[in-house]
Structure 1
Amino acid sequence: MPGESFRFIHASDFHLETPLGDLDQLPPNLRDAMATAPRDAAAAVFEAALADNIDFLVLSGDLLHPVAAGPHGMSLLLDNFEKLNDAGTPVYWAAGIADDAKQWPEAVPLPPNVTLFPRDRVLSVPYERAGRVVCRIVGRSSEGRASLHVPGFQTEATDEFTVGVGYGTADAGALASGRMDYWALGGPHNHTDFDGGASAGAFAPGSTQGRCLDETGPHGYLVVDVDADQTARVRRVEADRFRYAHVSIDAAEIRAVGSLRNLLGQKITSLANENGGRHLLIAWDVTLTDPEMLSMVGDPIELLRHLRRDHGNGNPAAWTTRLTVRPPRNYPKSWRDEDTILGDFLRASEKFRKFAAGVPVESVSNAGTNDSGAAAGKPAATARLGGLRLMPYTEEHSDLSSTAATLLGELPAGDRDATLDEATLLGAQLLRGDKPSWGRKS
C-alpha cells in the first residue's frame, strides 16, 4: 500500500561555541561578520525549516556546548525551537559529544515539540499526519564516542520509512546492517556520504559553517524529500557565510603567467566566481622547483601584504590567511660543483637531506666536517646521526632564552626538511651575493 510523501531537513554540528580559526589576525572589515558567522549559518537551518514547508527537523549532534556557548548560543536554539513549536513542526535531536544531553541545564526545559533522544537506549518515535503514521524516527544520543554503535539502534522491523538519527561514523556495511532507510548522522565537520549504508542514503551533512583549513569547501545542511513509494531525493543546501579554501600552486602555473602575484590574483577572481558571493579565507601553498623562479615570486611577506590589501577589503572579501612558499630543492649542478664555499655548502646540504630520506649512515660522508671529525665544534658522529643541531652555531649568544635553546638544540623530525630547505636557500643567496627574499610562511 503506497505511503505518503514527506520532507525533512537534516543538519548537525552547529558548534555555536567555536569561532572561526586558522587566522593570524582578524581583518577589521570582517570582524563582525566572522563573529556572527556560526550563528548565521545555524539560523539559516531554522529559517528554511519554517519557510520550506517541511514536516520535521532532524539534528544529529554537536549543536553547541551549553557552557562554552553560553546564554547567547542557547537562546538561538530555544528561540527557534519555540518558533517551530508554534508552527507545529517536530524536532528530533540526537546529542553528540559537545552537546551531551547530561550538560543541558535542567532549569531550561525544551519545548514540547523537541525530542532529545536518550543516551542509554534507542527510542522509536512515529511521525503522524492526520492520525496516520507517515514514518518512524529511531534515535539515540551519543555516550561520548566518536563512532556509532549500530547494534544499539536495533528495533522491530516496520513497513514505514525509517530514519535513524545518531552521532558518530561507521562503515557502510555496518550501517546497512541497521536496516534504516535513511541514516542521519553527525560528527564529521565535512559533508560525508556513507555510500551503501542505507537504501535512501546515509549522510553526515557536516558543519553548517566551516571553521578551519581542514574544513574547506561548501558547508550547510540537507533537505530530504521522500515520495509515496519511499524513494528519497537528497539535496545539499549551502548555509556558510565564510568559505575556506586551500590552494596549491605548482611551478608550471607560475611560469605560464610569469608572476606569482598576477597568478594569485587570477585564482582569487575564479574562486570568488565559484563560491557565490561568500567571503573567502584562503591558504596558498606554492612549490618552487629552481632558484631562477624567485624573481617571479618576490618577497613573500610583501606579497602577502599586497594580497590582503588588494583582495581582503571587498564585499565579498578574499582574505589570505596564509602564504606558504616552499623553496626549491634543486640547484644548478654548476653551483654544486664549484670549488668554493657555495659549492661546499650545497654539497653539505644535499648530504643532510639524503640522511633525512633514509640513506644508510655509512653512505653519508662527513658532511661539513674537518679532517679531525669535528663538525662546527661538534663530534662527527652528531652529523652522521642526522641530528641537525643549531646550538653550536650560537655559542657566542649567551643571552638565549631556555625556550630558544631547546628549539635550536634538536629540531622536530617534521620540521627538519622545511628548515633545511629554508636554510639552504638563504645560504645560497648570501654566498652568491644576492639579496635574500625568503620567507617560508607569512
Structure 2
Amino acid sequence: MPGESFRFIHASDFHLEAPLGDLDAVPSHLREAMADAPRRAAKAVFEAALADNIDFLVLSGDLLSPQSAGPHGMSLLLDYFEKLNSKKTPVFWVAGLADDPQKWPDAAPLPPNVTLFPKNRVVAIPVERAGRTICVVVGRSSEGRSALHVPSYRVEPTEEYTVAIGYGASDADALAEGRFEYWALGGEHNRKAMEGGAEGGAFYCGSPQGRSLCEPGPHGYTVVDVDADQTTRVHSIECDAFRYCQVEIDASEIAAVGGIRNLLGERITRLQHENGGRHLLIGWDISITSGENLHALGDSEALLAWLRREFGSGTPSAWTASLVIRPPKHYPKSWKDEDTILGDFLRASEKFSKAGQRELNLAPYTEEHGSIRSPTAALLADVSPSAREAILDQATLLGVELLRGGKPNLVSS
C-alpha cells in the first residue's frame, strides 16, 4: 500500500561556540558580520523549518557546546525549539561530541517537541500526522566515539519509511547494513554523499557555515522530500554568509595575463560571480615551478596588502585570509653552476636535499644566537622529519632571493 508523502530538514554541526577561523586579522568593516555568521546560518535552518511546510526537523550533532557557547547560543536553540513547538513540529536531535546530553543544563529544559536521543541505546520513534504514521525515526547520541557504530542501530523491522540519525565517521558498506531508507549523518563539516549507504540516500549535510580554509565551498542544510511511493528527493540548500575559497595557482600562468595582480584580480571576479552575493575568505596557494618565475611575484607582503585593500573592503568583500608561496623544487642549472656564493648556496641545499634532510640540524644555530628564547630553540632543535623538507625549501628560497638582490618572498598568511 502507498504511504504518506512528507518532508523534513536535515542539519548538523552548527558549532555555535566556534568563530570563523584562519584569520590573522579581522577587518573592522566585517567584524560584526563575521561574529554573527554562525548564528545567522543556524537561524536560516530554523526559519526554513518554520516556513517551508516541514513535517519534522532532524539535527545530527555538534550544535553547540553549552559551556563555550553560553546563554547566547543556548537561547537561540531554545527560542526556535519553542517556535517549532507552537507549530507542533517535532525535532529529533542526536548529540555529537560538542553537545553531549550530559552537558546540557537541567535548568534549561527542552520543550516537549524535542527528542534528544540517549547515548546508551537506540530509540525508534514513529512520526504521526493526522493520526497516521508517516515514518519512523531511529537515533542514538554519540558515546564519544569518532566513528558511528552501525550494528547498535538494530531495531524491529517495519514497513514504514525509516530515517536513521547518527554521528561519526562511517563508510557506505557499513551504513548499508543498517537497511534504512535514509541516513542523516553528522560530524563532517563539508557536505558528503555516501553512495550506496541507503536506498533513499546517506548524507553528511555539513555545517551551515564553513569555519576554515579546510572547509571551502557551499555550506547549508538538506531538505528531503519523500513521496507516497517512498521515492526520496534530496535538495541541498545554501545558507552560508561567508564562503571560504582555496585557490591554487601556478606561477607559470602569470605571464599570459600580464602580471600576478591581473591574474589574481581575474580569479576574484570569477569567484564572486560563482558564489553570488556572499563575502569570500580566500586562501591563495601559489606554486613556483621554476626559479625563473621568482621575479613575476614581487614582494608577497605588498601583494597581500594590495589584495586586501583592493578587494577586501567592498560589499560583498573578497578578503584574502592567506597567501602562501610554494618554493620551487628546482632552480636554473646556470645558477647552481656559478662560481659565486649563490652557486655554493644552491649546491649545499642540493646536498641536504639528496641526503633526505637527515643532516639538517638547526640546534647549533640556536646556540649561536642567544636572543632565541628556549621554547623556540627547543622547536628548532627537534624538527620532525615531515617538516624538514618544507623548511629546507623555504630556506633555499629565502637565500636565493637575498643573494640575487631581491626582497625575500616568504610565505604570508
TM-score by length of 1: 0.90
Q: Residue 213 of structure 1: SS of its match in structure 2? A: coil
Distance 1:391 1:166, change over 3 A: closer
Work out the CA distance in 1 between the residues paired with 2:250 and 2:208.
31
**Are 1:409 and 2:381 an aligned pair?**
yes
* Displacement after TM superposition at 1:325 (Å): 0.8
Work out the CA distance in 2 between the residues paired with 1:159 and 1:309.
60
Q: Per-residue CA shift, 1:398-430, capped at 9, x if unaligned?
A: 343223433443433333223322322332333
**Percent sequence identity over aligned pairs:** 65
Q: 1:40 matched to which residue of 2? A: 40
**Are 1:440 and 2:408 an aligned pair?**
no
For the Cα contact (< 8 Å) 2:209–2:220, is it kept in 1? yes
For the Cα contact (< 8 Å) 2:402–2:408, is it kept in 1? no
Q: Residue 249 of structure 1: SS of its match in structure 2? A: strand
Q: 2:173 matched to which residue of 1? A: 173
For the Cα contact (< 8 Å) 2:366–2:380, is it kept in 1? no
Work out the CA distance in 1 between the residues paired with 2:344 and 2:66.
61
Q: Residue 233 of structure 2: SS of its match in structure 1? A: strand
Work out the CA distance in 2 between the residues paired with 1:350 and 1:81.
63
For the Cα contact (< 8 Å) 1:387–1:410, is it kept in 2? no
Work out the CA distance in 1 between the residues paired with 2:95 and 2:363.
51
Work out the CA distance in 2 between the residues paired with 1:67 and 1:293.
51
Alignment-mate amino acid for residue 394 of structure 2: E
Alignment-mate amino acid for residue 369 of structure 2: H
Which blocks of at least 5 consecutive residues in structure 2 are unaligned? none
Work out the CA distance in 1 between the residues paired with 2:162 and 2:366.
68
Q: Residue 40 of structure 1: SS of its match in structure 2? A: helix
1:249-264 equivalent positions in 2, closer than 5 A: 249-264=249-264
**Are 1:430 and 2:402 an aligned pair?**
yes
Task: Single out whichever of 298-307 and 398-407 deviates more from structure 2.
Answer: 398-407
Alignment-mate amino acid for residue 438 of structure 1: N
Match of 1:398 among 330, 355, 370: 370
Q: 2:70 matched to which residue of 1? A: 70
For the Cα contact (< 8 Å) 1:298–1:437, is it kept in 2? no
Q: 1:115 matched to which residue of 2? A: 115
Q: 1:378 matched to which residue of 2? A: none
Work out the CA distance in 2 between the residues paired with 1:398 and 1:183.
59
* Displacement after TM superposition at 1:283 (Å): 0.7
Q: Residue 406 of structure 1: SS of its match in structure 2? A: helix
- RMSD of aligned C-alpha atoms? 1.6
Distance 1:11 1:408, change over 3 A: closer
Q: Per-residue CA shift, 1:21-79, capped at 9, x if unaligned?
A: 11111111111001010000000000000110111101111111111111000000000
* Displacement after TM superposition at 1:441 (Å): 2.5
Q: 2:95 matched to which residue of 1? A: 95
Q: Residue 282 of structure 1: SS of its match in structure 2? A: strand
For the Cα contact (< 8 Å) 2:241–2:279, is it kept in 1? yes
1:341-420 equivalent positions in 2, closer than 5 A: 341-356=341-356, 386-393=358-365, 397-420=369-392
1:6-25 equivalent positions in 2, closer than 5 A: 6-25=6-25
Q: 1:288 matched to which residue of 2? A: 288
Q: 1:238 matched to which residue of 2? A: 238
Q: 1:160 matched to which residue of 2? A: 160
1:132-147 equivalent positions in 2, closer than 5 A: 132-147=132-147
Q: 1:361 matched to which residue of 2? A: none
1:147-226 equivalent positions in 2, closer than 5 A: 147-226=147-226
* Displacement after TM superposition at 1:333 (Å): 1.5
Work out the CA distance in 1 between the residues paired with 2:349 and 2:326.
16
Q: 1:382 matched to which residue of 2? A: none
For the Cα contact (< 8 Å) 1:258–1:296, is it kept in 2? no
Q: Per-residue CA shift, 1:109-160, capped at 9, x if unaligned?
A: 1111111111111111111111111111111111111211112111111111
* Displacement after TM superposition at 1:391 (Å): 4.7
Q: 1:373 matched to which residue of 2? A: none
Work out the CA distance in 2 between the residues paired with 1:269 and 1:84.
41
1:260-279 equivalent positions in 2, closer than 5 A: 260-279=260-279
Q: Residue 308 of structure 2: SS of its match in structure 1? A: helix
Q: Residue 233 of structure 1: SS of its match in structure 2? A: strand
Distance 1:344 1:200, change over 3 A: same
Choose 1 or 2 for highest CA Rg. 1
Distance 1:258 1:88, change over 3 A: same
Total equivalences in the alignment = 413
Distance 1:91 1:410, change over 3 A: closer
Work out the CA distance in 2 between the residues paired with 1:395 and 1:127.
70
Work out the CA distance in 1 between the residues paired with 2:344 and 2:98.
56
Q: Per-residue CA shift, 1:291-343, capped at 9, x if unaligned?
A: 33222211000000000001111111111111011222322222212233322
* Displacement after TM superposition at 1:262 (Å): 1.3
Which blocks of at least 5 consecutive residues in structure 1 are unaligned? 358-385
Q: Per-residue CA shift, 1:231-272, capped at 9, x if unaligned?
A: 000000001111111111013322322311211111111111
